[in-house]
Structure 1
Amino acid sequence: MTRATARVPGVAGPRTGARTTPRPDLRLVPGIPSVRSRRRAPRALRSPRAPFVLLVVAMLVGTTLGLLILNTAIAVDSLQATELRADNAARAQEVQRLEQQVVSGGTPAEIAAAAVAAGLVPAGPAAYLVIDPDGGSVLRGSPAPAPALEGAPAAPGDGN
């Protein structure tokens, strides 16, 4: 059996004869004119993709607005931080200036001049009262009153 003469069951062989029934002619059937309603939504809104597209657009707009607000807040915070740094620098300079005044005003000569300007007088020799464990006391040193300044009011108890 050769390939050309082999018959496969269920498969028809090549057609050699004429057709017994003619093919029908195809023709266009006129349809009923459709009446469009003016209340119908446009085709783009009726599409099943429209809600997804609107969601994506809304998300893009929301994200853009969110980033704008976030950038604005960061810029405001940056300006406040810059102002605070400038204030800190000014206060640090003020602290250094005050420390320098304390250092320069802490010399014995400066303290003595400030005391005289305030009306203070130098103290005389000091005396100490030492209390013994048995209850007695001993005076060490000789107390003397401070000399009065000219033009200063008399101290109470001077007897004047």
Structure 2
Amino acid sequence: MLVFRIVHKRYADSLFASGLEGRWNSEGKKVLYTAESISLAYLETLAHRKGLGFNKDFKIMIIKIPDTVDFQIVTSSELTKHWRDFRNYSACQKIGDIWFENGEELGLKVPSAVVPENYNVVINTFHPDFKKVKLIDVLDFEPDERLEQIIKQYQS
């Protein structure tokens, strides 16, 4: 399985996990957030950056996860009604933290809050199979400036 990340170039040469809190992990849980497509990775990054600051310093990471590793899959129907609201991270973090602590599966496949019909893959960097995850390519990222301009119009 190929997954994708869009990151600043200083982080694009390794599978680095900061341990910062995210929707599916609490502080200190070192996971990598990836998307099942480049376009979803872009939308996720756009949402988190509020559409600002893209430039030629960003890269697309292409990551290979072996087909032999296990994933826990979470569907939208399993989640609370308002799981996508950024103020409701705790419900998703509880699921992600349990998955991380159990350590049974390398990946947690979760619906995207931006496009719930598509999936992100959260990767546990402490799982024994993490050594099988490979960064196979890094591409230049040059997004269409029109999307950033549209978002800037609606920000106060």
TM-score by length of 2: 0.14
Pair member with larger Rg: 1
Q: Which has the higher helix share?
A: 1
User: Which structure's relative contact order is higher, taking Cα pairs within 8 Å and 6+ residues apart?
Assistant: 2
TM-score by length of 1: 0.13
